[in-house]
């Protein structure tokens, strides 16, 4: 990767069997990639591919003195990114436990990194977004003001698989908010780079 390139990881925050989070993540990736300079690289990071037990390190994450192999692997993956887009459903007014656990394993790897929060639910997932904003702000991340909330009641699904038939059609009303959030993320990345160089 060129030194000028920036890598943004899109973290899929649901692992349940009947999820649509991967479809939402791929839609978000498509939209932001189409509306970003070519040297911004977007990568899907699916928590299904990075299984973690409930937090089991002895030392607190801020010390970065890991002892578990799975923590080293997770740290290595997250350390590759310059910024993040979290894609999360809303479970009972909050984010899934698997996403909270994945965040809690690390600290330094998240700190000062720009991020966008994308939620999805029947009513857009504003509770999950607010909860995730509080968490990411608490660990020192720089959160974009625009937090796209994708309303899943507009989609059409296969009743047997729960898959969305057409994500472009389903989330068209929220597309502009995703584009705006991507612009804000790029601004945060650029301002972070300037601050770091100062």
- Output the CA–CA distances (angstroms, integers) from residue 152 to 15, 90, 145, 172, in the order listed: 17, 11, 22, 11
CB atoms within 10 A of CB 43: 13
Strands 6-12 and 114-121: unpaired
Q: What is the pLDDT along the chain (198 residues), one digit of tens a residue?
A: 445 789 999 999 999 988 999 999 999 999 999 999 999 999 999 999 999 999 999 999 999 999 999 999 999 999 999 999 999 999 999 999 999 999 999 999 999 999 999 999 988 899 999 999 999 999 999 999 999 999 876 678 888 888 998 999 999 999 999 999 999 999 999 988 656 554
CA distance linking residue 149 with residue 174, whole number of Å: 7
The residue ranges of DSSP E strands in 40-130, in sequence order, are 40-46, 83-89, 114-121
Q: Which domains does the chain have, with CATH numbers?
A: 10-197 (3.40.50.360)
| pLDDT of the residue at 88 | 98
| pLDDT of the residue at 194 | 57
| pLDDT of the residue at 196 | 58
| pLDDT of the residue at 54 | 97
Q: What is the pTM of this model?
A: 0.94
Segment (H or E) for 157: none
Q: Is residue 39 packed enough to be buried (19+ CB in 10 Å), middle (13-18) or exposed (0-12)?
A: exposed
3-class secondary-structure state, position 196: helix
CA distance linking residue 140 with residue 133, whole number of Å: 11
CB atoms within 10 A of CB 196: 8
Strand partners, 143: 115
């Amino acid at each position: 990767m060129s030194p000028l390139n920036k890598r943004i990881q899109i973290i899929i925050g649901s692992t349940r069997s009947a999820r649509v989070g991967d479809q939402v993540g791929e839609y978000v990736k498509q939209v932001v990639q189409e509306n970003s300079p070519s040297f911004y690289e977007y990568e899907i990071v699916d928590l299904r591919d990075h299984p973690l037990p409930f937090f089991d390190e002895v030392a607190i994450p801020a010390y970065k003195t890991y002892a578990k192999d799975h923590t080293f692997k997770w740290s290595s993956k997250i350390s590759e990114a310059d910024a993040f887009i979290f894609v999360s459903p809303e479970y009972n007014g909050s984010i899934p436990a698997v996403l909270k656990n994945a965040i809690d394993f690390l600290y330094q790897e998240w700190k000062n990194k720009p991020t966008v929060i994308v939620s999805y639910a029947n009513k857009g997932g504003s509770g999950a977004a607010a909860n995730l904003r509080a968490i990411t702000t608490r660990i020192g991340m720089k959160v974009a003001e625009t937090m796209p909330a994708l309303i899943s009641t507009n989609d059409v699904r296969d009743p047997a698989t729960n898959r969305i038939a057409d994500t472009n059609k389903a989330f068209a009303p929220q597309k502009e908010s995703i584009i705006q959030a991507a612009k804000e993320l790029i601004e945060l990345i650029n301002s972070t780079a300037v601050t770091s160089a100062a």
